[in-house]
Amino acid sequence: MKKLLLLSLFVFLFISKGNAQIATPFSGEEEFGAWYMYFGTNKLSEKWSLHTEAQFRLYETTDNFNQLLLRTGANYHINKDAIATLGYGYIETDASFIDLPGETNSKEHRIFEQFILKNKVWEFLFEHRYRLEQRFLEFANNTTDTQHRARYRLQVTLPLTNTFFLNFYDELFINLQDDLFGQNRLYGALGVHVTENSSVQIGYLRNQFTNAVYDRLQIGIFYNPDLSSLFKKKPKS
């Protein structure tokens, strides 16, 4: 466990460093965009829960559509510190910052397998997320492609009070074909526990690709209801 923790910290601190990039007039790199997000872990039983997620991504803070992401999955809770997930995502993307005549968005159907491990060191809560993705892409020119990708995210949460907390993560994307490096996401946020099963995070994301770097505001709503009572058998009267 100590070796895994040290390796994860190394990735978290250093992997986001890359070559400096120059923004082009049509890339939108100079704009401060935004991701508006919802995440839900809906408890169905002691071992099972349903993941629900929606993200609306903009090239600018309140304008210029970039991407819509809808994702769901079945979570199997091996124990309180380990979760296995099989899921599906639908993604629609406008790949250009400027409006082009007759432009059509690309679409993606994505299957993913995921494994999460959690551990605590002092007051720091660590979460290691490993994910494999099979991506079925439909481009605007009526061509299709199938791609495969691996992702690793190290997330660290530090409680400040019973209400406020800090959240940080670094996530590396590895292509399993062509160029190895896909992208890297470095994130930091202030979080607020609104209720026992809901919270809000407001933070900053630095999203680095091989030839571009984007700065994004992130506002996330997290809601984790317990729905298990809906599936329990009622005693016969």
Domain contains 185: yes
The 10 Å CB-count burial string (b at 16+, else e) for 159-174 is: eeeeeebbbbbbbbbe
Average confidence score pLDDT of the chain: 89
Q: Which has more pLDDT, 206 or 100?
A: 206
**Is the model's pLDDT at 20 over the cut of 50?**
no
Q: In the predicted model, what is the mean pLDDT of residues 137-149?
A: 92
The domain of 157 spans 2-16+29-228
The pLDDT tens digits of the residues spanning 76-101 come to: 999 999 999 999 999 999 888 877 66
CA 47 to chain centre: 23
**Is the model's pLDDT at 44 over the cut of 60?**
yes
From the number of C-beta atoms within 10 Å of its C-beta (0-12, 13-18, 19+), residue 221 rates as middle
**Is the model's pLDDT at 234 over the cut of 80?**
no
Domain contains 233: no
Which residue matches tokens 């770097």?
213
pLDDT > 90 in the chain, percent:
75
**Is the model's pLDDT at 4 over the cut of 50?**
no
Domain contains 150: yes
Q: In the predicted model, what is the mean pLDDT of residues 194-208?
A: 97
Contacts of 196 (CB under 8 A, 6+ apart): none
Question: Residue 21's pLDDT is what?
Answer: 40
Question: Residue 92's pLDDT is what?
Answer: 96
Q: Which has more pLDDT, 114 or 99?
A: 114
| CATH for 135 | 2.40.160
Question: Residue 232's pLDDT is what?
Answer: 76
**Is the model's pLDDT at 19 over the cut of 90?**
no
Asked whether 221 and 37 are in contact (CB, 8 A), the reply is: yes
Q: In the predicted model, what is the mean pLDDT of residues 131-156?
A: 95
Domain contains 214: yes
Domain contains 236: no
pTM, two decimal places: 0.85
Structural domains of the chain, count = 1
